[in-house]
Structure 1
């Protein structure tokens, strides 16, 4: 009896909290005139109906109040779990207090840095020649490259800042007893704070900005203010329209001709118009990541992998993912496999009458393709002839810098936010990626646009990078937990259709691409496909990052790659030995992949007919804001 009363009280409290939340939401929606039906009718039905929201597997009825409060708190903390941050800093500070020798080393280093900076400052004043730097910036740090930073007093300002960065790097690393994840979180957040306070971000300490102000009579500040106001206006108004001079989908990018030959509630399947008299008998399916729009593989014509493969005589199909809304909250990873990859394979084999196809997956699309391929192998489905993985991980033990945002506390916090919205918002996703490269994606942009008053240079890749998509609540929760956090796919605990699948069941040949400076899917992690798949693996390591390394058309300057094939996983090298021993080749990896794929694509035949009366590419899903 007592337990029933407590449950009733908890349930009533949850309903009251939900009603208050709905009241605030109704007021906001009424201000936007977003509803047609009476608001209080909907609120009454929400109150009278049982609580039917989905929630994480670990939750129970009493967890609704926790989810609501965490969702509201997330709006104040930019979706960062306070508990995760507290745990990381508590771990670091506690162990630092327990390490007197580390504190002595840090104190000694602080005095040394102060003395070094004093000597450098004195030498800059008394000598005309540039004295030797105390600290040399890292090769990727471009903030102090301009010659004006070598003049006094700006050289002493920049050196003082770099010495502080060096000291904090020592202070946040190498503390005995601190977990690796907490050390990474503390180091990352301290670096973000230091990047915010860098002298390059302020007019009084940046000589480049001062020179621009003198030369333009201060017009750079006026134009910078106008740029900032325009960005603020677009952010407040959620304005997704692009200026007339920007790249636009269907006009400048994603313009390879084709038809939307199949669609369901999750995907549109595009078949591209052939440009050769004959084509290979085995069609090619691209499975892009759903975290961004598909046209990373079909940018402007000179950068389009789709156009390149069509010109080489392939019948090319592309999955275009829907940008999910709140009503799609319950779409799961299994739905993405069935309604995405499997539905596309069914449609292609029916349209072309080809018994097999080649499949290529990019980023998360490659991960999903690997899941689908292992599931098909488990059930004896042999319709995939070969699999290509572009910057795609199947082992998440070392997932790269994104692991900074992934632990039990942070995932639980994100689940509450997604539970409230029904999805993870585009701004939340974009913010995480921008923080990983804050100097390049945040501070250098603000320096150029707000302080120097420069206009942002438009490019097809930048346009794609800004065109983010939402993540359905259930799918993203399953992805983070089963793949990122628990690594179930690589360790044989991932289930499809009620059965565990194993990557070792994949027997088709694999072509895997890693990119040298990838911070999303580190190439050494991608390389692990050698030991996980029991088949022939051809691995290519290309210059560039996660996006630019994949978009590498022939003729692109400063591109190179390494490539080698291993037929037996038991004799595969480790990643570093492979990199040190495999010869480097100049140019794009695209022709090497096409040459490999050609051997798996059968004889040349007349192109299959294009269905009539179908919508033209790029379709409607890619246009969804």
Structure 2
């Protein structure tokens, strides 16, 4: 290579100087802020609200109580390493060998071809996978540990194993290694600048950027379905969407989203918007948009979320359309709220809800999945202490918990891209929504955690009361459609199935493909994943799946047919314009509630 060609590969000195200056400035400012904060608040001992330390102490004592089994495990691991060394020597000499350890299909961490082709990186990869397998096998099924402690051990061991993946380090990731050589280390300098920027925007805490938030604007390229806000109170704005057909179905459709996330997961883009699709089918579609609460709403309770949330929305839809019956659909926690509302209405002899659809909704919390790791008496008490000080649970804390459930996809892939490769995150609307955190009021969230997750009282007749009314789901006779997804890690489908058995009216349970988001936001045009149906509703989830029939494509069309099959479900009226009924239009969709982002102030700096 000539000197001129070498000079072309060198980074621009002006760019290098600018990057170094930005890094130095950010680092100095953050260090000063950190020292001032430590001095002001005092340094307290780290807490262990989740009881992780105690769980591992219990694990250690159980393992040491059986030294023979521990020694046997160590010998097995040693033999695997011996086989790896032997196989690697043969591979280095050009002989074909079968790997001792291989990543699971679809493991994106090891997709670079050098993990397979290059002798050294293949050795590093297999060495890690061997250690990971033996570590997991050692702790996964220890005799004498109670189920909850074992679940904690399994979860946090997986976090540890994922964190130590060689793909997460510059010298042991072939892609990062090549980029470091190619850019003369500038990727790492830019990555450090990205890291400091994320710490800065996180007010001293690391909040990894998953996407370029500046690439999106609410109402412009996300949440774009046209409509009007026609009702508002302290907790919700209610949006009515413009009609897309000459006639609309007589029964309006009201959607209750989870308050833990913003509603526009159901209205991301035209091609995958459930809101737009429902409107295009001829439904007069309404959706609730929850407020992002501050300390002024700390007193708002779960009861308020029923009375001022779902019930208030039902009342508003009746005022806007004059209809006495409404079809309802709800997503995740919104479904928990909807079922509570239906039981309240049943006790009041209120029959205005003609049908109810539940997207990935837990009503029976006896098997909460991996989220149960974060929810025991000590953990909830710790959360309550934090919420009491602020008046709410900070949205980023809950978002971090959900991200840990899929750490390789939602944490470490961005560590590699942003900090090791030195790249800016790619603009992606789903991740824009995922990073749009929402808070939860102290009173409501405390009630929800204690009565649903810890005590599982919602499934018990009279287990909870709303405005003095005992809640009994067995009294709910409203026709119900449950859609859950087979790979859901937030609301495991076998748990949601238990809830589908509780109401006494006609119930249809459908199992969709994929996970909590992709399996629900699955438009027919995509023709993906498929779904399973069963005319029977046996007592056990496994029996349901064993007798189920698989169908190609999206469950949306099956749901539409189910809605139309209900009493007078296909009756139509002239299209309804938002604001032309009993409630006037207040502002254009998507409304002001959804536009409030917790990170907006930081992002503007």
Q: TM-score, normalised by structure 2?
A: 0.86
Q: Are positions 1:95 and 2:62 aligned together?
A: yes
Q: Is the 8 A contact 2:527 2:554 kept in 1?
A: no
| Aligned mate of 1:565, from 526, 535, 539 | 535
Unaligned runs of at least 5 residues, structure 1: 1-27, 33-71
The correspondence of residues 600-611 of structure 1 with structure 2, limited to 5 A, is 600=566, 601-611=569-579
- Residue deviations 1:35-76 (CA, integer Å, cap 9, x gap): xxxxxxxxxxxxxxxxxxxxxxxxxxxxxxxxxxxxx89997
Length, aligned pairs only: 550
Q: Are positions 1:598 and 2:564 aligned together?
A: yes
User: What SS class does the counterpart of residue 314 from structure 1 fall into?
Assistant: coil
- Rounded to whole Å, the distance in 2 between the matches of 1:463 and 1:268 is 21
Cα distance change, pair 268–613 in 1 and its aligned pair in 2 (3 A): closer
- Rounded to whole Å, the distance in 1 between the matches of 2:179 and 2:173 is 10
Q: Report how far residue 140 of structure 1 moved.
A: 4.4
The correspondence of residues 407-418 of structure 1 with structure 2, limited to 5 A, is 407-418=376-387
User: What SS class does the counterpart of residue 122 from structure 2 fall into?
Assistant: helix
Unaligned runs of at least 5 residues, structure 2: 1-32, 598-605
Cα distance change, pair 316–340 in 1 and its aligned pair in 2 (3 A): same
Q: Are positions 1:220 and 2:208 aligned together?
A: no
User: What SS class does the counterpart of residue 253 from structure 1 fall into?
Assistant: coil
| Aligned mate of 1:333, from 284, 291, 302 | 302
Cα distance change, pair 294–111 in 1 and its aligned pair in 2 (3 A): same
Cα distance change, pair 74–520 in 1 and its aligned pair in 2 (3 A): farther
Provide the residue aligned with 1:516 in structure 2.
486
Q: Are positions 1:373 and 2:339 aligned together?
A: no
Cα distance change, pair 80–310 in 1 and its aligned pair in 2 (3 A): farther
Q: Are positions 1:343 and 2:315 aligned together?
A: no
Cα distance change, pair 241–117 in 1 and its aligned pair in 2 (3 A): closer
| Aligned mate of 1:422, from 383, 391, 395 | 391
Q: Report how far residue 291 of structure 1 moved.
A: 0.3
Residue range with higher mean Cα deviation, 167-176 or 138-147: 138-147
| Aligned mate of 2:515, from 545, 551, 564 | 545
- Rounded to whole Å, the distance in 1 between the matches of 2:417 and 2:596 is 30
- Rounded to whole Å, the distance in 2 between the matches of 1:561 and 1:174 is 33
Provide the residue aligned with 2:409 in structure 1.
440
User: What SS class does the counterpart of residue 381 from structure 1 fall into?
Assistant: coil
- Residue deviations 1:553-599 (CA, integer Å, cap 9, x gap): 12225331122334xx5xx2522232233222221111111121122
Q: Are positions 1:211 and 2:178 aligned together?
A: yes
- Residue deviations 1:102-156 (CA, integer Å, cap 9, x gap): 324323333333333332333333x313421112222343212221012211111
- Residue deviations 1:406-447 (CA, integer Å, cap 9, x gap): 111111111111111111101111111111111111111111
Residue range with higher mean Cα deviation, 183-192 or 575-584: 575-584
Q: Report how far residue 194 of structure 1 moved.
A: 2.3
- Rounded to whole Å, the distance in 2 between the matches of 1:400 and 1:241 is 25
| Aligned mate of 1:186, from 141, 144, 153 | 153
- Rounded to whole Å, the distance in 1 between the matches of 2:409 and 2:417 is 11
| Aligned mate of 1:481, from 450, 457, 467 | 450
Q: TM-score, normalised by structure 1?
A: 0.83
- Residue deviations 1:360-391 (CA, integer Å, cap 9, x gap): 01010011001101111122111100010001
Residue range with higher mean Cα deviation, 573-582 or 346-355: 573-582
- Rounded to whole Å, the distance in 1 between the matches of 2:257 and 2:586 is 22
Q: Is the 8 A contact 2:211 2:425 kept in 1?
A: no
- Residue deviations 1:168-190 (CA, integer Å, cap 9, x gap): 11221211110111112122222
CA RMSD of aligned residues (A): 2.5
Provide the residue aligned with 1:63 in structure 2.
none
Q: Are positions 1:164 and 2:131 aligned together?
A: yes
Q: Are positions 1:499 and 2:450 aligned together?
A: no
- Rounded to whole Å, the distance in 2 between the matches of 1:392 and 1:194 is 31
User: What SS class does the counterpart of residue 119 from structure 2 fall into?
Assistant: coil
| Aligned mate of 2:499, from 529, 548, 552 | 529
- Rounded to whole Å, the distance in 1 between the matches of 2:593 and 2:298 is 17
Q: Report how far residue 602 of structure 1 moved.
A: 4.3
Provide the residue aligned with 2:603 in structure 1.
none
Q: Report how far residue 88 of structure 1 moved.
A: 1.4
Q: Is the 8 A contact 2:318 2:324 kept in 1?
A: yes
| Aligned mate of 2:99, from 125, 129, 133 | 133
| Aligned mate of 1:201, from 168, 184, 190 | 168
Provide the residue aligned with 1:584 in structure 2.
550
User: What SS class does the counterpart of residue 153 from structure 1 fall into?
Assistant: helix
User: What SS class does the counterpart of residue 113 from structure 1 fall into?
Assistant: helix
The correspondence of residues 346-357 of structure 1 with structure 2, limited to 5 A, is 346-357=315-326
